[in-house]
């Protein structure tokens, strides 16, 4: 019995030694970071631009120098460096493959932050989204914009104080949106979600380059500016609308931050900062001609005044201005066949049986008699440093 025990013990010891030997041998073959990727061997694309010219997709890729993004103790005094590539093909992926042809290092879109689509390429939007979503490295959280100007001009806009291009509306819209509200930025996943939602509008912000705002010394510089929106409904493109024609959209923005407006009574004027806007819709079912009431609640404060104004005059003036912008927005929508107030989507979500029975087969759109009333309520919470009159 003792001999058997010794033999078993010896076999176990030999098995352990053998296992240790093979483990050491395997360490030799896998020693080091075998899957390490050197940064100098990879070119990371931070933004893609898509155009469509002469029957071909034209794809632009913007790369940013990491040195201009990283913080250093001495600071970066030189201009931020960017590189822009251009490829062509019958499809988005073929254009991307063409772009790779002239790139020495491996092109990588794992850090893709923004997609910019020219109006000419909106007919290729399905192909663009399909191509990006087929890339394992693509991010669904990438921002997506439209443009009506040359993509190279937008990618080559200048930044203040030689900051990285990442500090721009194209890459970081939130700081700008918090001080100037129009329509909310869209991520790729939200774009797809809203376009697939029946009867819901998709508002794609349009970014163009402008030289009319800032100078460096005496030289005008090109900056990025949200200038309007591309509108889609049920995957159908409805057109481009400049900001000034649909400015009333800002009061319907669920991510409303801040808007400055003028309040006036006669020759007396004041500037009001509106920091809260909330809207709701009431519907009255009436066969194939439903009627709607739009309610908008606003909160703000007085930040500037020229002449004596009462709180009632300020509130009345702001309410009239906002109501006028919303009426204009509705009229523009009726003229162009666009339901900017999303009245049908409201019926689809909250009065589905009525919508299905009365309007689903009608290809319904609002008309001049659809909007019964726009109710705007503005509350002035504080007069700032100004003493307001009591009463009118």
Q: In Å, how far are 8, 12, 14, 18, 286 from 5, measured between CA atoms?
A: 5, 11, 14, 20, 94
Across 64-69, average pLDDT: 64
- What mean pLDDT value characterizes the chain? 85
- Report residue 160's pLDDT band, with 50, 70 and 90 as the boundaries: confident
Phi, psi of 227 (to 5 degrees): -115, 0
Tell whether the torsion through CA atoms of 217, 218, 224 and 227 is positive or negative.
positive
Per-residue pLDDT reduced to its tens digit, 2-46: 454 555 465 556 656 566 656 665 555 554 554 444 555 577 889
The token pair that represents 296 in the structure block: 């908008």
Per-residue pLDDT reduced to its tens digit, 186-223: 999 899 899 988 889 999 999 999 888 888 888 888 88
Across 227-250, average pLDDT: 94
Per-residue pLDDT reduced to its tens digit, 288-317: 999 999 999 999 999 888 878 888 999 999
Instruction: Give the contacts of 332 (CB within 8 A, at least 6 positions apart).
Output: 241, 245, 246, 338, 340
Q: How high is the pLDDT of residue 40?
A: 55
- Beta strands at 201-216 and 106-108: parallel, antiparallel or unpaired: unpaired
Per-residue pLDDT reduced to its tens digit, 357-382: 999 888 899 999 999 999 999 999 87
For residue 13, how many C-alpha atoms fall within 13 Å in the half-sphere facing its CB?
6
What is the dihedral angle through the alpha carbons of 127, 133, 134, 135, rounded to the nearest 10 degrees? 120
The token pair that represents 373 in the structure block: 């009333």
Across 106-125, average pLDDT: 90
Q: How far apart are CA 83 and CA 77, in angstroms?
A: 19
The token pair that represents 378 in the structure block: 């503005």
| Model confidence at 103: pLDDT above 80 | no
What are the residues facing 260 on neighbouring strands? 273
What are the residues facing 202 on neighbouring strands? 232
Across 107-123, average pLDDT: 91
Q: How high is the pLDDT of residue 124?
A: 87
Q: How high is the pLDDT of residue 367?
A: 93
Q: How far apart are CA 204 and CA 345, in angstroms?
A: 18
Q: How far apart are CA 125 and CA 269, in angstroms?
A: 46
Instruction: Give the contacts of 11 (CB within 8 A, at least 6 positions apart).
Output: none
- Report residue 137's pLDDT band, with 50, 70 and 90 as the boundaries: low
Q: How high is the pLDDT of residue 326?
A: 98
Q: Which of 175-179, 279-283, 378-382 has the highest mean pLDDT?
A: 279-283
| Cβ atoms 335, 246 nearer than 8 A | no
Three-state secondary-structure class, residue 300 = strand
- Report residue 49's pLDDT band, with 50, 70 and 90 as the boundaries: very high
CB atoms within 10 A of CB 218: 5
| Cβ atoms 256, 182 nearer than 8 A | no
Q: How high is the pLDDT of residue 281?
A: 97
Q: How high is the pLDDT of residue 36?
A: 47
Q: How high is the pLDDT of residue 71?
A: 47
- Report residue 68's pLDDT band, with 50, 70 and 90 as the boundaries: low
Q: How high is the pLDDT of residue 162?
A: 75
Domains (ranges, CATH) in the chain? 39-245 (no CATH), 250-392 (3.30.300.210)
Instruction: Give the contacts of 45 (CB within 8 A, at least 6 positions apart).
Output: 61, 62, 63, 107, 108, 109, 111, 112
Chain position carrying tokens 């493109």: 237
């Amino acid at each position: 019995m003792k001999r058997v025990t010794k033999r078993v013990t010896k076999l176990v010891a030999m098995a352990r030694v053998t296992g240790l030997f093979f483990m050491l041998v395997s360490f030799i073959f896998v020693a080091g970071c075998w899957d390490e990727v050197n940064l100098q061997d990879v070119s990371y694309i931070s933004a893609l631009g898509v155009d469509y010219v002469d029957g071909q997709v034209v794809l632009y890729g913007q790369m940013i120098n990491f040195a201009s993004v990283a913080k250093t103790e001495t600071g970066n005094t030189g201009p931020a460096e960017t590189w822009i590539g251009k490829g062509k093909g019958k499809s988005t992926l073929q254009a991307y493959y063409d772009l790779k042809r002239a790139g020495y290092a491996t092109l990588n879109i794992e850090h893709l932050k923004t997609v910019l689509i020219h109006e000419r390429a909106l007919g290729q939007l399905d192909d663009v989204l399909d191509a990006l979503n087929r890339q394992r490295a693509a991010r669904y959280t990438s921002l997506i914009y439209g443009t009506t100007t040359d993509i190279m001009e937008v990618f080559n806009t200048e930044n203040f104080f030689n900051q990285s291009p990442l500090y721009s509306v194209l890459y970081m819209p939130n700081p700008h949106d918090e001080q100037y509200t129009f329509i909310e930025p869209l991520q790729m996943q939200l774009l797809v979600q809203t376009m697939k939602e029946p009867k819901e509008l998709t508002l794609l912000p349009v970014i163009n380059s402008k030289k009319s705002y800032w100078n460096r010394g005496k030289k005008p510089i090109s900056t990025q500016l949200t200038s309007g929106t591309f509108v889609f409904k049920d995957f159908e493109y409805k057109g481009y609308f400049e900001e000034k024609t649909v400015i009333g959209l800002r009061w319907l923005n669920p991510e409303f931050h801040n808007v400055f407006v003028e309040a006036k009574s006669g020759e007396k004027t004041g500037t009001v900062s509106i920091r809260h806007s909330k809207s709701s819709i009431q519907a009255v079912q009436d066969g194939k001609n439903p009627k709607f009431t739009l309610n908008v609640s606003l909160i703000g404060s007085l930040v500037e005044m020229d002449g004596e104004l009462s709180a009632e005059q300020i509130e009345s003036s702001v309410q009239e201005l906002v109501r006028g912008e919303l009426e204009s927005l509705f009229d523009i929508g009726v003229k162009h066949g666009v339901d900017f107030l999303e009245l049908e989507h409201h019926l689809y979500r909250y009065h589905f049986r009525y919508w299905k029975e009365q309007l689903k087969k009608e290809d319904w759109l609002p008309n001049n008699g659809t909007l019964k009333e726009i109710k705007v309520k503005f509350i002035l919470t504080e007069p700032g440093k100004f003493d307001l009159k009591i009463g009118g």
